[in-house]
């Protein structure tokens, strides 16, 4: 049940989290946090998302703040390191923020960079971490993805290529033409029908994110209908959102792959002390923001009002 708007706004805290490196083109991550009667929720839809899409993110935050969590099957989750599209010389410092991680996801297909840049970055990661996956965020054409698969596996295997192309049809074509497994992210979380990519045989792995899908229970419901392995990942969440991702991963009947839930290391400051992975795992549990950090990281008044207006625009929309 959606809470009254006035109650929701009374519980809202808007924070601006500085980042260590540019990620998705931003160096400050703004999110709205909800101090709910059950726990803390997060509304952090990326700024360019319009209300119909952002409303799912608000639904996830409301669920966390007002709803009862599901039961869990595990108390810690294996995580992957996340390597942005940095220079190869910066890779060791990035990986140092993910102690014990045995899997790394490397961003590729960055605008302004070349495939040679991607190969160099991946090979430096491969020398330090045994299992490597790449994420193109839909940045390649089919032919580019096929060429990239060949180049990126010349010196070692890839666990999978995440969202090499933008459309489901393109993913299916890439999957037919390469031996590297294909994972779908945007084709699930940004789709009107999240199961379409699976029905079309366009993915070997499903990357699911709590916030874009509308909450933990919605993610678990989709997971029941998917017969391919699932990776739970972060949407560049604060510690509050990461806690919900860990909860979702802990509630899955099966978890074959490391999850992308250690992105807290990308922030200079968060609303709690950074919890570094231990031996490549993060413990399952909610994050309760430090009041002093909420004050110190509070967004300026005009940005707080922007988020209030956004909550109002999303609150009136029905999320299926």
Give the residue numbers annotated as catalytic, written as ranges. 107, 209
162 is in an annotated binding site: yes
Q: Could you tell me how far CA 32 lies from the centroid of its own chain? A: 17
Distances (CA, A) of 218 to 68, 133, 195, 265, 319: 13, 26, 12, 27, 11
273 is in an annotated binding site: no
Phi, psi dihedrals of residue 268, rounded to the nearest 5°: -70, -40
- How far is 286 from 245, CA to CA, in rounded Å? 10
**Quick one: angle between helices 239-251 and 51-66, nearest 10?**
80
CA-based torsion, 312, 314, 317, 320: positive or negative: negative
Q: What is the DSSP string of 33-44?
A: EEE-SSSEEEE-
The H helix count followed by the E strand count for the chain is 13, 12
Q: Are 210 and 219 in contact (CB under 8 A)?
A: yes
Phi, psi dihedrals of residue 255, rounded to the nearest 5°: -140, 100
90 is in an annotated binding site: no
- How far is 194 from 265, CA to CA, in rounded Å? 29
Strand 40-43, strand 26-35: pairing: antiparallel
Residue ranges of the annotated binding site for Mg(2+) are 135, 162, 185
Residue ranges of the annotated binding site are 135, 162, 185
């Amino acid at each position: 049940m959606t809470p009254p708007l006035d109650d929701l706004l009374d519980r809202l805290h808007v924070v601006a989290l500085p980042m260590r490196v540019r990620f998705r083109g931003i160096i400050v991550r703004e999110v709205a946090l909800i101090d709910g009667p059950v726990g803390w929720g997060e509304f952090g839809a990326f700024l360019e998302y319009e209300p119909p899409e952002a409303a799912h993110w608000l639904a996830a935050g409301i669920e966390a703040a007002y709803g009862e969590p599901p039961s869990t099957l595990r108390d810690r989750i294996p995580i992957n390191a996340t390597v942005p599209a940095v220079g190869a010389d910066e890779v060791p410092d990035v990986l140092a923020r993910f102690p014990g991680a045995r899997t790394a996801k490397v961003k590729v297909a960055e605008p302004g960079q070349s495939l040679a840049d991607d190969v160099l970055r991946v090979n430096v990661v491969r020398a330090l971490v045994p299992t490597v996956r790449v994420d193109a965020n839909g940045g390649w054409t089919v032919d580019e993805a096929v060429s990239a698969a060949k180049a990126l596996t010349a010196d070692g295997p890839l666990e999978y290529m995440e969202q090499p192309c933008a459309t489901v049809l393109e993913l299916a074509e890439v999957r037919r033409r390469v031996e590297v497994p294909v994972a779908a992210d945007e084709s699930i979380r940004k789709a009107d029908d999240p199961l379409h990519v699976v029905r079309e045989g366009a993915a070997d792995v499903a990357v699911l994110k709590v916030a874009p899908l509308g909450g933990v229970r919605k993610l678990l419901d989709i997971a029941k209908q998917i017969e391919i392995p699932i990776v739970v990942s972060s949407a560049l969440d604060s510690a509050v959102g990461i806690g919900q991702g860990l909860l979702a991963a802990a509630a899955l009947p099966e978890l074959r792959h490391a999850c992308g839930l250690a992105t807290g290391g990308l922030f200079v400051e968060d609303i709690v002390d950074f919890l570094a992975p231990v031996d490549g795992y993060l413990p399952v549990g909610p994050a309760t923001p430090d009041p002093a950090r909420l004050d110190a990281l509070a967004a300026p008044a005009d940005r707080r009002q922007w988020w209030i207006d956004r909550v109002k625009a999303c609150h009136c929309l029905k999320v299926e």
